[in-house]
Amino acid sequence: MLMDTRLIGYLNRATGHELGAIQQYLAQARLCELWGLTDFSRQFAEDSREEMGHLSDLMDALLRLGVTPQASHVPAVRLGRTLEQMLEIDRQVEYDAIRLYEEAVDYCARRRDTAHQALFDRILHEELEHLNTLDQLISRAKAA
């Protein structure tokens, strides 16, 4: 069977995104801990674990294709100087992920690759929910 190099490209790009997101949210969790913001620290640590679940699923898909998971690019960590800034940066991180997963879903749909379409679509919906949660936290941080 011929390798679908574009599909592998999407899987590896997503791998890089998720690695970056794990690092981003864990760093923010530890910084919130230093600031004494225990609730937010827990929230960010939980986000980091969710992204690790996504990374695991992407790696499984690559391994099933006989490909070694290899992120070509891991986005830099951007912490923010205030809680509100942190959440705004994370909003952008999630927004970028959503665009990537939408493109990957579209591509798989055109190729009639239903298995990978379902994988990307499931992660897409979890990132949309994540964005929704961030929006709620931003409103809460602004009101506080």
**Residue 1 beta carbon to Fe ion: minimum distance, rounded to whole angstroms:** 28
Pick the stretch among 13-21, 60-68, 69-77, 107-115 that binds Fe ion (CB under 5 A): 13-21
Please report where in the chains the tokens 């949309």 appear, as a residue.
128
Closer of 1 and 72 to Fe ion (Cβ): 72
Among the listed residues 54, 87, 105, 119, the single contact to Fe ion using CB under 5 A: 54
Size of the site for Fe ion (CB under 5 A): 5
Q: Which of 16, 51, 87, 119 binds Fe ion (CB under 5 A)?
A: 51
Whole-number Å distance between alpha carbons of 133 and 112: 32
For the CB of residue 97, give the shortest distance to Fe ion in the complex, in Å.
6
Count of C-beta atoms within a 10 Å radius of residue 106? 12
Closest contact distance (angstroms) between CB of 55 and Fe ion is 7
For Fe ion, which is the closer residue by CB, 50 or 108?
Answer: 50
Give backbone dihedrals phi and psi of 4, rounded to 5 degrees, phi first: -85, 95
∠140-18-123 over CA atoms, to 5°? 75
According to the binding rule CB under 5 A, does residue 90 interact with Fe ion? no
Is residue 48 a contact point for Fe ion (CB under 5 A)? no
Cα–Cα distance for residue pair 73/1, rounded to 1 Å: 27
- Would you state the structure tokens that stand for residue 24, as one six-digit string? 């981003």
- Is residue 108 within 8 A of residue 116, CB to CB? The reply is yes
Q: Which stretch binds Fe ion (CB under 5 A): 3-11, 16-24, 56-64, 108-116?
A: 16-24
